[in-house]
Amino acid sequence: MLNQKAPLAGKVAIVTGGGRGVGRGIAIALSEQGASVVLTGRTESQLTACANEISELTGGQVSHMVATVGERHDADRTVATTLARFGRLDILVNNAQSTPRPVSVSLELVTDEIIAMVVNSGLIGAIHHMQAAFAPMKQQGGGSIINIASNAGILGHAGMSIYGAAKEGLKGLSRVAARDWGGHGIRVNAVCPASLTESAEQFQKDFPERATAVLASIPLGRLGDPVADIGRAVAFLAGPDASYITGQTWSLNGGQMMT
C-alpha cells in the first residue's frame, strides 16, 4: 500500500528498464513512497504488466512507454513525455542494462556487437538520460539521479569484462556529475545491488557452481529482494532524508563486499 507518510508525494520519477527485475522493484518502492512513476523499456507487455501491478499495489500514478535507452532521441522523448504528463521530473533511475546470452563471455570471445549492446544500453543510455534530465531539474532547483551500477568490476567476476567496465564507468560518471551539478541542487549517486532477479535466476541455472559460490560469499546468506532490499534503499536515496548524500556508491549486497 501507499506509505501514508509519503516522503516522495508530489515527486515524479523515471525508471529505465522498469518492466522487470531491479527496475520493477525500484518502481514499486518509489510508488509506495508516493512518487508518480514513468517506466521505460523495450517490451510493451512487461511494462504494461508492471504498471498494472504497481497501480494495484500502491494506487499511485504510473505510466509507461516503449523506448530504447541507448538512443538519444528516445531519452529526450522520455523526459519530454514525462514533463508533458506530470509537469516536472524529480528522480531519474538509470537501471536499464542489456547483457549477452549467456551472460558470461570470456574476454577473448567478446565481439564488437556485445561491446556496443552492453555499453550503449548501460553507460551511454545513462549519459543521454542524465543530459535530458538536467535542464528541468536545474530549472526546478534540484533532483536526484541514481545510477544502477555493479560490483562486477571490483570483484572481477569472470566472463563479465564489458559489463564490469560499463558499470565501473557508471560509478565514475556519478561522482563527476555530482560535482558538476551539485550547485544546481542535483544529487547523483550509484547503487550496486546483489538482487534476486530473473537474470540472477537464469545465471543460477546456467552456472550453478558459480552461483553457489556467489551465495556463499554473502554473509547474510541471500540475494536481496528487489523491492524490500534494493527498491526501498533507492527510494531513500531519492528522498528528503538523503538530501546531503551525493557522489556516493552504495553497495547493497548483504556484505559480499565491504568498504
What does the buried/exposed string (b/e) look like for 101-140 if buried means 16 or more CB atoms within 10 Å of the residue's CB?
Answer: eebbbeeeebeeebeebbbbbbbbbbbbbbebbbebbeee
The string of DSSP codes covering 148-215 is E--SHHHHT-TTBHHHHHHHHHHHHHHHHHHHHHGGGTEEEEEEEE-B--HHHHHHHHH-HHHHHHHH
Annotated catalytic, 244?
A: no
Distance CA 225, CA 232 (A): 10
Cα distances (Å, whole numbers) of residue 202 to 63, 136, 206 = 28, 38, 6
> For residue 233, which of 218, 203, 253, 214 has the smallest C-alpha distance?
253
Annotated catalytic residue, options 13, 74, 126, 163:
163
C-alpha cell at 119: 555499453
Active site residues: 163
